[in-house]
Structure 1
Amino acid sequence: MPSNLKPTLVLWGVRMGFLSYGWDAGVLGGVLQTKAFQSAMKAPDTTTTAMIVASFLLASWLGCVMAASPWSDKVGRRMWVMAGAGVQIFGTIICASAYSPGQLIAGRVLIGVGNGFVVATGPVFVAETTGTVKQRGPLVGNLMGFACVGTACAYWIDFGFTYASGQAAWRLPIAMQVIFSILTIALMYPNGDSPRWYYLQNRPEDGRLALEQIYNDNDMATKVAAEIQTELTQEVGETLRFSDFFIDRSETKAATRIRDGVILVGVAYLMGINMIFYYMTTIFQVYIGLEPTTASICSGAATTLLAIGTFVGSMFCEKGGRRKWLLWGSALQSCFMIAFVGLLAVGTKAASSAAAAMLFGWILVFSPTWAPLPYIYVSETMPLRHRHTGVGLSISAQWLMAFLTVYAGPIGFERVGWKIWIWFAVFNVIGFPYVYFFLKESRGRSLERMGELYNEKLVFHTDGSEGTGSANGSLKEIKVGIDGEKA
């Protein structure tokens, strides 16, 4: 029999995991230029610095791929999140005590693997334990808000420690990451697992108990249980074939959903967000020409703006739908990024100041749109039997693209200067046609009804039995999902 499932504890446990992710994304960028760090790491060159920063990203990709592997679904959502936080603790200890680039990279690899476990599994756990459709999108979306809070807090802590002396100026900010990992484990431990996972593991009694703990309503638990079992029945015998990722002939279109998620997240993280936030202080100080103190203040302000915008976007993501937020975001981001590139090309002091303003404008748009929406979309559109694989592979694209940009970025800065930003401008533009032509609107549907978007024959009756007909035309049958009475 599973432990009591407390959705609030699950939510806050995953939030702490994302705070840890955001902290790591921000903390190193603020200490790279400090004398204490440069002394301890023996003044690393550009390539070594890029590897120190980017090793976390490549390791996070590995962690996501491990969490997406076929055998990983046997472990459960809860255990993956706790295991990730545990690995992060060991990595943080190694990083905080490092006296060479090799030791620091080793620690960041461990942190990255643990982070991959958390970010690949946490959104699934939250989506599968949220009580209503209308709450699911905002709650999954604000996980990225907490990641941005972690980044903002790290930058402000870094700024405060610029007035400190000695090795504590960079070691203590890095060590503070362990607090969030400990909180993640403490909040996760008392819980059972997701009801969807129990049904997937052929443990219907445990799944039913978990549903009752989520809804506190036997009738609603019965209805959701029937839909989960119907979805699993529809997916019986379907396996992922490599050819389906190009021409998907399956009933549930699992490969299509995974492919769409991988491309969506990959495009989002080729727009420049990791490049900006890992090297923000360096960008403001070295390439825009601001004074060190001013550069640190601007970095903290930008990360704070990102956090606020992500929470706002998550709060209102049910207004207008997923596609509209992404389309408007891509269009406006393209304008700001193209202007940013043009102003950097001019190279004057006035143009550099205007470029900084364009960068803030880009962050203002990205934060409520392309920051939270990809996580929301991939966590809710994957079929249950392949949800761990789909979300894990989708989010692994984030880390692979982030590694590419963060590792190649400073080298590109050194060799081609401002022209490196053309790369990011191109992907801001590409986002619009991709969303318009390939993504379907997932707002307002329960997790079990997402199949209707990809196959009109997969329609459920409100009593949980399987039906057939048009998914778009049978309003009576899909009313429960649209009204947001359940997730």
Structure 2
Amino acid sequence: MPSKMNPTLVLWGVRMGFMSYGWDAGVLGGVLQTPAFQSAMKIPDTTTTAMIVASFLLASWLGCCIAASPWSDRVGRRVWIMVGAAIQIVGTIIAACAYSTGQLIAGRVLIGVGNGLVVATGPVYVAETTGVVKQRGPLVGILMGFACTGTALAYWIDFGFTYTKGQVVWRLPVAMQIFWSLLTIGLIFPNADSPRWYLLRDREDEGLLVLRQIYDDNSIADKVAAEIQTELKQEVGETLMFFDFFIDRSETKAATRIRDGIVLVGVAYLMGINMIFYYMTTIFQVYIGLAPTTASVCSGAATTLLAIGAFVGSIFCEKGGRRKWLLWGSALQSVFMIAFVGLLAANTKATNSAAAAMLFGWILVFSPTWAPQPYIYISETMPLRHRHTGVGLAMSAQWLMAFLTVYAGPIGFEKVGWKIWVWFAVFNVIGFPYVYFFLRESRGRSLEHMNELYNEKLAVVSGSVSPSEREASVKGETVEDKI
């Protein structure tokens, strides 16, 4: 295993993994209605189309469950990311060559399993290799910005290929996902694993070696290693039991932290983002009634807006903290989504155009708030011994809720029409009280001091490293330089 650690390569490797995630999330949305795709898949009905799209999500849930399993931490963050990317390449080849719905679904399943491994492990790898506390949140949040960029890019590529003819209209955009997975493997491979993972596996020498490459000052690296060891000792013997997720009596509140992360991500993906992501062109064209070309342009513009907003919210997430971003997001999203539902219900040309504007407003708010902030929160607050389990389970909630909305959403729209959007409006409203009453502010704390947020008795006092000391001893650029 490599002993060199280059945090910049790690950042870009994980970012390319999230570009791949975004590409897969968006690439079919722009080609589902094309004659070439419809012909190759023999004009699938609504249920079959939903399964083609949603199979990726259910498989991503499986990949996250693998990453969350008790034995997965034996492998390490680095290896899981590369394995996930390799599985995605195999799945993409099968999907791009598909001439039946069964073959396409099989390819999408493999892509999803690989994607689940990448997105469940990537944020942890980035968080655990970021030396400056105030940069950790932005750098993790920016991952969602790259996912949104992948989706936007896929939609614009789809739009460009609508002017071509033949099966290349959809097969080449699908196949292009391989590029992002190859970049992920190439950038991650030369690096060592996370220093916290080495210390978790009792490989102190390797962990200390990596920390000394992250920090210029060896004394700071030694102190951080000591803090990590203290954190591990605090968590010794704390096992996760089912009833702990309801009444947690442990000192570090490990089950509570995992539960909060699972619910947070689950609520985020019941707000409607995946329904909008995956069926953007269909929503504009079929449900709102725009012309095909206009619908494609609106889809590209909306996904581009989502990407820009995710970057903005990530870069400035330290201003105000995680909770304020989420609270304001839930409040404003609720206004836009309720207005969207009401305008769809009226079902006139004028109200449908206004509904499209409300959808853009919702995306404008969601993109800097509920798109990146949950990723930041779960990567920070999970206990070290159960970090792979906590983040994996939280991400599995994302994919399970996404599957539910993407599979059931279009079927529900076909059965009950605009009323299906009431479902998403309800969860936009629920987000506010959940964040207000259950989540604690994690901004400004090092990962090793996160236990104190849940139990002040667990404070690390002796030899503690302040955030300013960490910042002074880390070589590298600012967040803006690293994007």
How does the TM-score come out when normalised to structure 1? Answer: 0.96
Offset at residue 216 of structure 1 (A): 1.9
Structure 2 residues without counterparts, runs of 5 or longer:
475-483
Residue 3 (structure 1) shift: 2.0
Does the alignment pair 1:119 with 2:119?
A: yes
* DSSP 3-state at the match of 1:191: coil
Q: Is the 8 A contact 1:449 1:481 kept in 2?
A: no
Asked if the contact 2:132–2:467 (Cα under 8 Å) also holds between the matched residues in 1, the reply is no
The AA in structure 2 aligned to 1:94 is: I
Q: What aligned pairs does 1:168-247 form with structure 2 within 5 A after superposition?
A: 168-247=168-247
Q: In structure 2, what is the Cα distance between the partners aligned to 1:2 and 1:17?
A: 20
Q: 2: distance between equivalents of 1:151 and 1:50?
A: 18
What's the secondary structure of 1:404's corresponding residue? helix
Q: Distance in 1 between matches of 2:365 and 2:185?
A: 34
Partner of 2:290: 290
Cα distance in 1 for partners of 2:104, 2:74 equals 33
Q: Deviations over 1:125-163 (max 9, x none)?
A: 000000111000000000000000000000000000000
Q: Out of 457, 462, 466, which is 1:480 matched to?
A: 466
Matched, 1:421 2:421: yes
Match in the other structure for 1:350: 350
| 1:194 and 1:207 in contact (8 A); partners too | yes
| Aligned 8 A contact 1:331 1:432 in 2 | yes
Aligned to 1:474: none
Residue number in structure 2 paired with 1:34: 34
Q: Quote the offset at 1:222 in angstroms.
A: 1.1
Report what 1:4 is aligned to: 4
SS at match of 1:163: coil
Runs of 4+ in 1 over 6 A off after TM superposition: none
- TM-superposed CA distance for 1:419, in Å, is 0.3
Residue matched to 1:461: 461
Post-superposition offset of 1:326: 0.2
Query: Contact 2:220–2:469 (CA<8 Å) still a contact in 1?
Result: no
1:423 deviates by 0.2
1:277 match: 277
The equivalent residue for 1:467 is: none
Compute the displacement of 1:482 (Å). 7.8
1:452 alignment counterpart: 452
Does the residue aligned with 2:466 lie in a helix, a strand or coil?
helix
Paired residue type of 1:480: S
- Report deviation, 1:461: 1.1
Question: Counterpart amino acid of 2:255?
Answer: A
Q: Say yes or no: does 1:410 pair with 2:396.
A: no
CA 1:384–1:412: 2 relative to 1, 3 Å: same
Instruction: Please give the secondary structure, in 2, of the residue aligned with 1:460.
Output: coil
Q: Does 1:56 align with 2:42?
A: no
Matches within 5 A, 1:101-112: 101-112=101-112
Tell me the amino acid that sits aligned with residue 47 of structure 1: T
Partner Cα separation in structure 2 for residue 21 and residue 277 of structure 1: 12
Identity of paired residues, percent?
A: 82
Q: What is residue 44 of structure 2 aligned with on the other side?
A: 44
Unaligned residue ranges in structure 1 (runs of 5+): 465-478
Measure the CA separation in 2 of the matches of 1:272 and 1:484.
39
Deviation at 1:481, TM superposition (A): 4.0
- Contact (CA 8 Å) 1:195, 1:211: kept in 2 or not? yes
8 Å CA contact 2:131, 2:470 repeated in 1: no
What CA distance in whole angstroms lies between the structure 2 residues aligned with 1:402 and 1:75? 27
CA distance in 1, matches of 2:147, 2:468: 29
Q: Which amino acid aligns with 2:22?
A: G
Q: Distance in 2 between matches of 1:205 and 1:119?
A: 28
Corresponding residue number in structure 1 for 2:305: 305
Maintained 8 Å contact 1:445/1:482: no
- Deviation digits for residues 243-291 of structure 1, max 9, x if unmatched? 1100001111100000000000000000000000100000000010000
CA contact (8 A) 1:58 1:112 kept: yes
Aligned to 1:25: 25
Q: Matched residue of 1:70: which SS?
A: coil
2:354 alignment partner AA: A
Which residue does 1:139 correspond to in 2?
139
In structure 2, the residue matched to 1:16 is 16
Q: Give the aligned residue type for 1:384.
A: L
CA distance in 1, matches of 2:57, 2:317: 28
